[in-house]
Structure 1
Amino acid sequence: MVVATPNKTHVAVLSSPGLGHIIPLLELAKRLVIYHDSHVSFLNITTTESSAAQDHLLRSPSLPNGLDIVDLPRVDVATVCSPDIPIAHKIGVIVEESLQSLKSLLIDLGKPKALVIDLFCTQAFEICSQLDIPTYLFFTTSTAFFAFCLYLPTLDHEVEGELVDLPEPIEVPGCTPVRPEDLADPVRHRKTDDYQLFVLLSSRFPLAAGIFLNSWDDLEPVALKAIRENTFYKQIHAPPVYPVGPLVKQDEPLSSKDAEYLAWLDKQPSESVLFVSFGSGGTLSTEQLRELAWGLELSQQRFTWVVRPPCDTASGTFFNVGSELNDPKTYLPEGFLERTNALGLVIPSWAPQTTVLRHPSTGGFLSHCGWNSSLESITHGVPMITWPLYAEQRTNATFLTEEVKLAIRPEVERGKTVVRREEIERVVRVLMEGEEGKAIRCRVKELKDSALKSLDYGGSSYESLSCVAKQWRLN
């Protein structure tokens, strides 16, 4: 049993599986402990599908005193999920199985002053209502996508047919319209379990006592203003929103291998290296992997590439990142490693992304556009090439390229699904040495300064979190 620190507000934080969810909620927990006089119990959903990277993060000796990791009973994934279940539905099933023990655990913890959950853990609203514990939602992706989710139950009721087949962009109240081709994977096809799950989750969001958003005022002013002022969100009784971002990983333990990668970066010119990584779960097909390799080689730009074995599923390592066997020589084009040895560094499976992005030699980021990675790139002043793979990443890619103009997006030939090597060569050169790349680099550095100010004492995100922490103390 965890015993809360005397004179500290005891808060519990609950994340669904996957680094994309765990990282921002863990950073929230750290900030509550370090800056807002709280004791936090971080409730960790554990499964039989181990992730070395996740274990490394949650067992780090650098976690602050007053932050306790509390494991929920392990879920046997093979027992509760079929092998071909879509990723969102799989997360939902795992969470539902794991949260059967939540009520007794919260009682054992002495009923914390509040529980903070992510979007897949909305079953906790009913459980916490029975215990009279206020429950807050931490939305792990963009404010714009949160606004879409609030609108989704209404959209589901009013529109017939598939959303992805609509002839015009979807007019989300007060926000930038969403093109059907940019819709998140779980809401593209209404007959799927993923779609039904997302409508259900979204319909529960108004039950929250408040919503934490991993964003800040300068990054998403349009969507934030809409949720605060538009009559639609008032009619559905949307909870108060608290932008507390950008909450990204601040530090990470480095292995001896990581030190070798950084030593290579130390030898490269300033802002000369393109970092290529598809997040904690992203994987490419065999054909796309080969085209990317050829495109990087043809560009003749320096690169650091985190590679994983090819996979037909775009989220192939979501649950076990860092645990897979990986020998790049077995799947990269023959001779690629030798031909690019002077310009490139290939890293199997996993790299310390935060450390690489903040390195002075890193000048660009070819990214899957997960929200965590997007925020990390912005907070370190690194412009992007967008390469969305799954979830809401297409929505993020459009936001980054068209709305805030911090990125370049490769074009795919009509009727094709693979980005060809010539297009990859083009966008890499544009970002790393072209005039458009220079303009993007200037804009992203301006937002980097804004992000840092928002988190500093007196900044908008600092004060937003402080406001809620004070409410907890008073209650």
Structure 2
Amino acid sequence: MAETQLVLIPSPGAGHLFAAVELAKLLVGRHHSLSIVVLVMSFPSDLSKGTASATSDSFASAVDPTRVRFIDLPLDDTFHDTTTSNFLLHFIENNRANVTRCVAGLVAEWGSASTPTPRRLGGFVLDMFCTAMIEVADSFGVPSYTFFTCNAAFLELMFDMQEQTDRQGKNMLDYKDSKEEYVFRGFSRRLPASVLPSIVLVEETVDQFLQIARSFRRANGIIVNTFLELEQNTIKFLQSDPDMPKVYPVGPILNIGGIDDARKLQDANDVLKWLDEQPTASVVFLCFGSMGSFGKDQVREIAAALENSGHRFLWSLRRPPPQGKVGYPSDYGEEISEVLPEGFLERTAGVGKVIGWAPQAKILAHPSTGGFVSHCGWNSTLESIYFGVPMATWPLYAEQQFNAFHLTRELGLAAEIRIDYRKEFRMESKELVTADEIEGGIRELMEEGGEKRRKVKELSEICRGALKEGGSSYLAFGELISDLLAK
């Protein structure tokens, strides 16, 4: 029997590649005749310096090389349009020719007489930002599936906005700086304009957002990183729409494995040793994702809130990139005291720890962690649910404001610090989140026996059950594989 080869294309960057690797491991682990080639795009070298860029070497050790193969696409250092809001989509479109040449070479290789096992190209699995590659899949006459790394509610919002624009002539830019609420069929409550994703409120990007939604409709299926019991009504609605590609809720797909980097492993061990010394569920963990950072004034408000709350804390504090530059935050190292209030580290030495990079999944899995102040990225949200740690919301960018509304107002799973804060290119909240606001959110988050804590613990058990044999995500994954092989 011929092996079915899938081409998996993640967006550039470590976070997307981590998710792609986890998906690849699940696919090959569920069926013996599936193999996967992961095509890795890297940002131009001038943008990658000092960022969390990723290449195949970073991930090859995590998989069976006979089943999952990584190929680094040629680096295009002629592409320097890194300052515009739609840089990422233009960069991916610019790589279509690279992908086409690479896949053509692979198909020729698989068809040669020297190949020990017959192989056939079965289809493309594309990161949600890589829909430009659907045309490449079409050119090879194979199906394409979108890997949607956000939640099902946000997928429904994308389709809803696209329909209102195309069928009703609605202009999403009308919601910018508006008090109007968005009537969203997916929620019982109306959405304040302040929690709509920034990409639809900025003239340079709204068309790109709507085009991505239109492109999703051209895929043969959409693989969603969620589970049925978390978003049951939304998923059933999406699956019942005859104009929609088939939706597969297969999550949570999480990277909760080991750490390969020796320096980071030592840092992680130091953090976990400190947590070992803390009482059960006593520590509030603050972490704002790979892109999350704050200016000095906001850092001091956070510090005051932590000190005043009296709770034990573990704070991942990162240095922002230079103003006006595209890049990832970095660690302060020995300079960390310069951004904190004078004497803060000394006064809180017995109850708190300030770190740079954080081994987030390992911290959330630790029994001493009792709450999580988060930017509400979807991977972080799923990790929080999986490990049964309640959240307090402080969104920064992308769809995180929408996620914060979803978690606090719709699902009742999270405490609220803010749901409408923004810190991103072209749209940024001007006012500080005060120490009083932050302290109030932390106190609600760490309340013993609270309703949110109970709900998250219950959902954690359901989430884990969805992944087990016979669970909802396990069954959806089996259906996906059957459809992949059939087509």
TM normalised by structure 2 equals 0.86
Deviation, 1:167, is 4.9
Deviation, 1:281, is 1.0
Deviation, 1:286, is 2.2
Q: Aligned pair in 2 of structure 1 residues 395, 135: CA closer, same or farther (>3 Å)?
A: same
The 8 Å contact of residues 194 and 420 in structure 2, kept in 1 or not, is answered as: no
The 8 Å contact of residues 34 and 64 in structure 1, kept in 2 or not, is answered as: no
Q: Aligned pair in 2 of structure 1 residues 461, 163: CA closer, same or farther (>3 Å)?
A: same
**SS of match in other structure, 1:274:** strand
Q: Give 1:360's aligned residue.
A: 367
Q: Give 2:5's aligned residue.
A: 10
The 8 Å contact of residues 289 and 310 in structure 1, kept in 2 or not, is answered as: no
Of 24, 28, 34, 2:19 maps to: 24
Deviation, 1:326, is 7.4
Deviation, 1:135, is 0.4
Rounded to whole Å, the distance in 2 between the matches of 1:62 and 1:256 is: 19
Rounded to whole Å, the distance in 1 between the matches of 2:154 and 2:276 is: 38
The 8 Å contact of residues 12 and 115 in structure 1, kept in 2 or not, is answered as: yes
Of 180, 204, 214, 2:193 maps to: 180
Whether 2:253 is the aligned partner of 1:247: answer yes
Whether 2:480 is the aligned partner of 1:468: answer yes
Q: Give 2:112's aligned residue.
A: none
User: What is the root-mean-square deviation in Å for CA atoms of aligned residues?
Assistant: 2.6
Q: Give 2:113's aligned residue.
A: none
The 8 Å contact of residues 401 and 420 in structure 2, kept in 1 or not, is answered as: no
Amino acid at match of 1:346: V
Q: Give 2:291's aligned residue.
A: 281
Amino acid at match of 2:396: L
Moved more, 168-177 or 117-126: 168-177
Q: Give 2:233's aligned residue.
A: 222
1:342-393 Cα distance to aligned partner (Å, 9 max, x none): 1111112x11111111011111100000000000100000000101001000
Deviation, 1:409, is 0.8
Rounded to whole Å, the distance in 1 between the matches of 2:402 and 2:209 is: 16
The 8 Å contact of residues 383 and 441 in structure 1, kept in 2 or not, is answered as: yes
Q: Give 1:59's aligned residue.
A: 59
The 8 Å contact of residues 42 and 55 in structure 2, kept in 1 or not, is answered as: no
Q: Give 1:94's aligned residue.
A: 91
TM normalised by structure 1 equals 0.89
Q: Give 1:3's aligned residue.
A: none
The 8 Å contact of residues 286 and 310 in structure 1, kept in 2 or not, is answered as: no
Deviation, 1:52, is 4.7
Deviation, 1:175, is 4.2
Q: Aligned pair in 2 of structure 1 residues 174, 392: CA closer, same or farther (>3 Å)?
A: closer
Q: Give 1:148's aligned residue.
A: 157
Rounded to whole Å, the distance in 2 between the matches of 1:204 and 1:337 is: 50
The 8 Å contact of residues 386 and 408 in structure 1, kept in 2 or not, is answered as: yes
Whether 2:412 is the aligned partner of 1:405: answer yes
Rounded to whole Å, the distance in 1 between the matches of 2:375 and 2:133 is: 30
The 8 Å contact of residues 305 and 438 in structure 2, kept in 1 or not, is answered as: yes
The 8 Å contact of residues 217 and 460 in structure 1, kept in 2 or not, is answered as: yes
Deviation, 1:411, is 5.0
Q: Aligned pair in 2 of structure 1 residues 462, 216: CA closer, same or farther (>3 Å)?
A: same
Rounded to whole Å, the distance in 1 between the matches of 2:370 and 2:300 is: 23
Rounded to whole Å, the distance in 1 between the matches of 2:395 and 2:323 is: 13
Q: Give 1:36's aligned residue.
A: 31
**SS of match in other structure, 2:62:** coil
Rounded to whole Å, the distance in 2 between the matches of 1:432 and 1:117 is: 39
| 1:42-121 aligned within 5 A | 42-47=38-43, 48=45, 49-50=48-49, 51-52=51-52, 54=54, 58-59=58-59, 61-65=61-65, 66-76=67-77, 79-83=79-83, 85-86=84-85, 89-110=86-107, 112-121=121-130
| 1:443-454 aligned within 5 A | 443-454=455-466
Q: Give 1:332's aligned residue.
A: 340
Rounded to whole Å, the distance in 2 between the matches of 1:426 and 1:472 is: 49
Moved more, 65-74 or 200-209: 65-74
Structure 2 unaligned runs (5+)?
108-119, 422-428
Deviation, 1:249, is 1.0
Deviation, 1:165, is 4.9
Q: Aligned pair in 2 of structure 1 residues 326, 30: CA closer, same or farther (>3 Å)?
A: farther
Rounded to whole Å, the distance in 1 between the matches of 2:333 and 2:70 is: 28
Q: Give 1:263's aligned residue.
A: 273
Rounded to whole Å, the distance in 2 between the matches of 1:54 and 1:105 is: 19
Of 424, 427, 430, 2:444 maps to: 430
Of 368, 380, 386, 2:387 maps to: 380
